[in-house]
Amino acid sequence: MNLSFSAREMGDLVVAWLALGLAFAIFFERGATGFLQSGVVYPLVVSLLTAGVGFLLHELAHKVVAVRFDQVAEFRADYSMLFVAVMSAVVGFLFAAPGAVHHRGYLTEREHGLIAFAGPVMNLLLAGVSVPLLVFGVSAGSDLITEIGAKGLAINLFLAAFNLIPFGGLDGKTVVGWSKVVWFVSFVVSAALAFFVVFVRQIGF
């Protein structure tokens, strides 16, 4: 597998990561005023290592699987939507559509479905990695590690469930077209976990 990145793609990935990190940091602090009062650096670092990494690796998972199926695949940032993400966070809500991995070449329905499925699976894996971080942070008395673990868990479960919604350009629509069983099981599990963590246990947000 020849996994390579053009200069433009690397630039788009870095800009999307930074912009989303900033947008989520502002959102986590309930707007621009709270973000500035928090000292900026701490919430930005937490956001870059949780929401930013979650989005970034989600898109890279699409690319890796696409290249595995002999596709020409590159991430392209949507700069207008990145601007919307930051501005929406400033006024108190968040709408984030950072861009997408575009690929070309012949694909079977199964291959197309697996490429789409790779993104939510990556978020579920990142959620799993966040659990020991959260436990370690609590036991070690580290507020930073605890917050990274908590937000990483909540955000990645939410991203997995949200992207599996079978609507519009979301991954779920393509996964349903490949396998309704895979979609149903993965969506129910990720949505149930996200609901429990975010709304029942109130972890992360």
Q: Hey, which residues are catalytic here?
A: 59
Each as own residue / partner, the long-range contacts of residues 159-162 (CB below 8 Å, 24 or more positions apart, any chain) are 159/54, 159/55, 159/58, 159/120, 159/123, 160/120, 160/121, 160/123, 160/124, 160/127, 160/186, 160/190, 160/194, 161/120, 161/187, 161/190, 161/191, 161/193, 161/194
- Cα–chain-centroid distance for residue 97? 10
- Cα–chain-centroid distance for residue 126? 9
